[in-house]
Amino acid sequence: MPKPIALYARVSTGEQNPEAQLLRLRAYASAREVVALEFVDRASGASRKRPSLDALLAAARRREVAAVVVVKLDRVARSVSHLAELGEELRALEVDLVALDQAIDTSTPAGRLMFNVLGSIAEFERDLIRERTRDGLEAARRRGSKLGRPRALDVEGRARVGRLRATGKSVRAIARLLEVGVATVARELERLEA
């Protein structure tokens, strides 16, 4: 008897319904007349740790599934690095990856090529974004722009930290009074002591 396949569906929030994905995945399994195990997560795709994805990978590591089937690659991974890691691990385990909407099936040479091409394009795009961001920051620096988050305390707020501390107020009390974080007050006190 052939190994079952793993059907993986993911929605981002509890209000969303994975049923549309599951119907397509079940139809795929039914057309191939294979047993399917279903794994469903209600979690952000940015999170690498998801209960059902972890269970699916554990089943793959135990050699209990022949393939992982998703509607789209972004259901299983949002980042190129995560997708590449998953793809590499599944390949090493001899578990195929099938993405219905992208016509990717890593059990075929064309599917492996398509998977690698999409991964390369996504990596290229990530590198372009990184380069544009770096160039934009450098141009802003040359124009004299202040980069980063604005200070939580202005000049008067920083002076108040010192005055409040001199009256014996705790760091937590000062933070509460000035409506800033405890770490902000602690940093300002360190700066004042230096």
Task: Decide if 12 is catalytic.
Answer: yes
**Residue 83 near residue 51, CB atoms below 8 Å:** no
> Of the residues 12, 47, 107, 170, which is catalytic?
12
- For 2, other C-beta atoms within 10 Å of its C-beta total 9
Q: Is 150 helix (H, G, I), strand (E, B) or coil?
A: coil
- For 91, other C-beta atoms within 10 Å of its C-beta total 14
- With a CB cutoff of 8 Å and minimum separation 6, the contacts of 194 are none
Residue 126 to residue 133: CA distance in whole angstroms: 11
**Residue 182 near residue 171, CB atoms below 8 Å:** yes
Residue 116 to residue 87: CA distance in whole angstroms: 9
Residues known to be catalytic: 12
